[in-house]
């Protein structure tokens, strides 16, 4: 009865050993097969998704690894890697370790080529017979000899310098990879030897000012020129110039000293005369010379502007001979004539009377200045010659002539040509319009003005191209479909503040003081007005536009830019012409420009200034107000000290009414407009 259970137990053990059945806690054959299939499937998917990576390292690495998200699988001469970023690391003895990143794209082959860099080599440098010489590798100081240096592989220059030795250099190829190489650079001395002696002996010897001993003497000196000085009490000093050659020895012929028997104490009037003894320069007076006594010497004294003096002198033995000589001035003749008469002359800053006279002047450079009120001072330097009469004819230029000559063809740094408005005597005229003028507005109050300072005015309005040199992004915009943005069109849609900033920028370009100061974003004029660029004052603008800068009488101001009656003649300016659809178009007048025209397209006025009555209206320097009429003349007025608005002068391409076309018409604004531009002025002095 017991055998059956034992048989069943043996059968179950056999089944379990053979893998059949489903043992408690084990895997079924189906699950094992599924796991194997999954692994194979993952491998196939990896192979399908992987990209080949070729790694080429020169010279061949002794060890190489690739690090990334998934391991790299070697595949022939390549690796299969999952797309992404990897770091390749390679090593070889004698070379610097390599670590380089590579990105492998999906579905594409990638290649990494790299070159291992050699480790520095060792270089042992000696410099017999010197220790402590400075070592330079390719010009970089690298230590002192003897030394073992770490030097990068490749061709290198080793240079050596040492005090009192000639520099030396040698090129060699460093093999690197830690290999030790040796280099010996023998240094050659940079000195030579010199032997000197004197008659008599025991004279002190100085080399280049330093005492080196007593003759006879042998010593070393660096190569090159040197000065030797020999001194001995009771004897005249002697000097020699020598040239020492490196590595050579030389003996200087014995230096014979001359005994000192006497002294010559020499003075001259004037002092500072050059002294020659027997044709050799010995110094300047006053001078004391040690000379051998009881000998005759030829003494010569000379000084520029004075006659030379020559004497034969003999110095007493054992004593001092004193000599004082007077050098008479050497004179030349200059005949000076000056026009117009009445000018005065100064010579070397000292008054010298009339500028027309015969002059006897010393034969040294003489500074002549000729002055006459209302004329530019003439200044010249001349050197008269002895025995030669010279003639000098001078015609003085008036202040105005001189100023016009200095400012002729003058332009700003931005390229604007400037016109001189010269004021010789105070210019008196009225700003504004009389009450009898039918088209007069109430703000055109008439009052007297006196301009005293000459000024320069740009002959044309500032263009877009000129303004963009200051502000490159400036855009003048459009009027309907017409561009206002051409390079040669006037810059519009510019605020008064930006026009003032532009003037300051011009001043900065030319080193002139700014006419405006800016604080907290607000612009104000510097007072009093200096010589920097600025906007024209209302008075200056009217003086140029209505009075032709003084060419018209003060009681006959110009009414319009073209004359004194309407309508404007053909092509007299850019206004609101017939057919322009502007509110005040001038009947029958055509100027061919629907908006602003290129500056200077129409004829200038008598002052050679363009577009004062048309094209665009212009910002003025002044704050706007309505002034009180009459009163005393206002000298160089520049408007109120403050305000909200600024004055605008001149008609524009929008203007067509009799009121706006008048040169006395004044407008005001605080914001930019598409028919509002500007021009610049600056003061200029009659005398530089």
> 515-561: per-residue pLDDT in tens?
999 988 889 999 999 999 999 999 999 999 999 999 999 999 999 99
**What is the Cα–Cα distance from 163 to 130, expressed in whole angstroms?**
10
53 token code pair:
């990576």
Q: What is the CATH number of domain 262-326?
A: 2.60.40.1120
DSSP H helical ranges for 50-149: none
**8 Å CB contact between 186 and 128:** yes
Q: Mind listing the pLDDT tens digit for each residue in 241-271?
A: 999 998 889 899 999 887 777 889 999 999 9
Residues contacting residue 584 through CB under 8 Å, at least 6 positions apart: 576, 655, 656, 657, 660
Q: Mind listing the pLDDT tens digit for each residue in 447-488?
A: 999 999 999 999 999 999 999 999 999 999 999 999 999 999
How confident is the model over 266-290, as a mean pLDDT? 94
Q: What is the pLDDT of residue 49?
A: 66
The CATH class, in words, for 191-256 is mainly beta
For domain 46-115, give the fold: Immunoglobulin-like (2.60.40)
Closest CA to 93 of 113, 115, 116: 116
Residue 9's pLDDT band, with cuts at 50, 70 and 90, is very low
Give how far the C-alpha of residue 372 lies from the chain's centroid of Cα atoms, to the nearest Å. Answer: 41
In total, the chain counts a number of residues equal to 688
Q: Measured at the alpha carbon of residue 484, what is the angle toward residues 502 and 601, in degrees to the nearest 5? A: 85
Closest CA to 615 of 682, 557, 561: 561
Closest CA to 439 of 547, 313, 560: 560
**8 Å CB contact between 55 and 66:** yes
Q: What is the mean pLDDT of the chain?
A: 89
Does this chain's domain 121-184 share its CATH topology with 331-396?
yes
Residues contacting residue 560 through CB under 8 Å, at least 6 positions apart: 566, 568, 613, 661, 662, 663
Q: Distance of CA 619 to CAs 225, 496, 595, Å?
A: 74, 7, 18
Q: In CATH terms, is domain 398-688 a member of 3.40.50.10490? A: no
**What is the Cα–Cα distance from 100 to 299, expressed in whole angstroms?**
88
Q: What is the CATH number of domain 121-184?
A: 2.60.40.10
Q: What is the pLDDT of residue 23?
A: 43
DSSP summary character for residue 533: -
Closest CA to 587 of 602, 601, 575: 575
Task: Report the 10 Å Cβ neighbour count for 465.
Answer: 15
Q: Mind listing the pLDDT tens digit for each residue in 294-342?
A: 788 999 999 999 999 999 998 887 788 999 999 999 999 999 999 999 9
Which of 204 and 686 is assigned the larger pLDDT?
204
194 token code pair:
């010199």
Residue 22's pLDDT band, with cuts at 50, 70 and 90, is very low
**What is the Cα–Cα distance from 623 to 646, expressed in whole angstroms?**
4
**What is the Cα–Cα distance from 27 to 380, expressed in whole angstroms?**
121
| pLDDT at residue 15 greater than cutoff 80 | no
Q: If you count DSSP H runs as helices and E runs as strands, how many of each does the chain have, helices first?
A: 7, 51
Q: Measured at the alpha carbon of residue 389, what is the angle toward residues 387 and 392, in degrees to the nearest 5? A: 150
**What is the Cα–Cα distance from 69 to 253, expressed in whole angstroms?**
90
On the 0-12 / 13-18 / 19+ scale of CB atoms within 10 A, 119 is middle
Residue 44's pLDDT band, with cuts at 50, 70 and 90, is low
| pLDDT at residue 12 greater than cutoff 50 | no
Q: Measured at the alpha carbon of residue 67, what is the angle toward residues 63 and 70, in degrees to the nearest 5? A: 130
Query: Domain residue spans in the chain?
Result: 46-115, 121-184, 191-256, 262-326, 331-396, 398-688
Residues contacting residue 626 through CB under 8 Å, at least 6 positions apart: 442, 443, 445
Q: What is the CATH number of domain 331-396?
A: 2.60.40.1120
């Amino acid at each position: 009865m017991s055998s059956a259970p034992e048989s069943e137990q043996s059968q179950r053990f056999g089944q379990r050993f053979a893998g059949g059945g489903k043992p408690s806690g084990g895997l079924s054959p189906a699950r094992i097969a599924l796991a194997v299939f999954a692994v194979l499937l993952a491998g196939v998917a990896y192979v399908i998704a992987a990209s080949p990576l070729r790694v080429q390292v020169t010279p061949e690495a002794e060890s190489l690894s690739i690090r990334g998200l998934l391991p790299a699988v070697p595949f022939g001469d390549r690796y299969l890697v999952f797309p992404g970023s990897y770091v390749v690391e390679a090593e070889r003895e004698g070379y610097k370790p390599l670590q380089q990143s590579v990105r492998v794209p999906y579905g594409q082959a990638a290649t990494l080529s790299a070159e291992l860099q050699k480790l520095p080599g060792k270089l042992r440098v000696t410099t017999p017979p010197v220790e402590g010489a400075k070592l330079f590798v390719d010009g970089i100081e690298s230590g002192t000899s003897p030394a073992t240096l770490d030097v990068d592989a490749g061709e290198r220059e080793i240079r050596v310098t040492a005090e009192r030795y000639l520099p030396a250099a040698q090129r060699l190829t460093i093999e690197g990879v830690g290999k030790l190489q040796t280099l010996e650079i023998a240094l050659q001395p940079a000195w030579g030897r010199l032997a000197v002696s004197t008659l008599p002996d025991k004279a002190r010897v100085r080399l280049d000012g330093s005492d080196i001993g007593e003759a006879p003497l042998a010593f070393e000196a660096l190569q090159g020129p040197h000065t030797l000085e020999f001194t001995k009490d009771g004897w005249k000093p002697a000097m020699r110039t020598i040239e020492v050659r490196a590595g050579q020895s030389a003996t200087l012929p014995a230096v014979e000293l001359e005994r000192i028997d006497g002294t010559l104490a020499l003075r001259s009037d004037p002092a500072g005369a050059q002294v020659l003894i027997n044709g050799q320069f010995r110094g300047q007076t006053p001078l004391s010379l040690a000379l051998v006594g009881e000998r005759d010497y030829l003494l010569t004294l000379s000084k520029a502007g004075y006659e030379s003096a020559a004497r034969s002198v003999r110095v007493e033995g054992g004593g001092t001979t004193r000599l004082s000589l007077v050098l008479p001035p050497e004179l030349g003749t200059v005949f000076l004539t000056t026009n117009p008469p009445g000018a005065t002359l100064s010579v070397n800053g000292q008054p010298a009377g009339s500028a027309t006279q015969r002059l006897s002047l010393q034969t040294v450079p003489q500074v002549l200045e000729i002055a006459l009120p209302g004329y530019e001072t003439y200044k010249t330097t001349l050197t008269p010659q002895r025995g030669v009469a010279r003639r000098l004819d001078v015609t003085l230029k008036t202040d105005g002539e001189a100023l016009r000559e200095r400012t002729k063809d003058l332009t700003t740094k931005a390229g604007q040509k400037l016109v001189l408005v010269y004021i010789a005597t105070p210019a008196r005229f009225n700003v504004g319009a009389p009450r009898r003028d039918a088209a007069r507005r109430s703000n055109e109050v008439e009052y007297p003005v006196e301009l005293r300072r000459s000024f320069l005015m740009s002959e044309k309005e500032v263009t877009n191209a000129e303004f963009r040199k200051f502000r490159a992004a400036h855009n003048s915009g459009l009027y309907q479909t017409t561009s206002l943005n051409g390079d040669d069109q006037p810059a519009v849609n510019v605020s008064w503040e930006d026009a003032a900033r532009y003037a300051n920028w011009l001043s900065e370009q030319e080193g002139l003081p700014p006419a405006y100061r800016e604080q907290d974003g607000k612009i104000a004029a510097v007072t009093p007005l200096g010589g920097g660029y600025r906007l024209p004052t209302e008075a200056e603008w009217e003086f140029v536009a209505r009075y032709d800068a003084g060419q018209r009488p003060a009681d006959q101001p110009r009414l319009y830019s073209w004359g004194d009656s309407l309508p404007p003649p053909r092509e007299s300016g850019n206004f609101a012409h017939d057919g322009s659809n502007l509110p005040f178009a001038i009947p029958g007048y055509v100027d061919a420009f629907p908006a602003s025209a290129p500056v200077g397209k129409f004829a200038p006025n008598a002052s050679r200034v363009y577009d004062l009555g048309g094209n665009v209206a212009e910002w003025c320097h002044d704050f706007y107000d309505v002034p009180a009429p009459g009163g005393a003349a206002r000298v160089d007025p520049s408007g109120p000290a403050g305000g909200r608005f600024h004055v605008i002068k001149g008609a524009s391409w929008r203007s067509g009414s009799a009121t706006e076309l008048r040169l006395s018409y004044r407008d005001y604004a605080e914001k930019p407009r598409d028919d509002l531009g500007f021009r610049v002025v600056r003061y200029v002095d009659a005398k530089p």
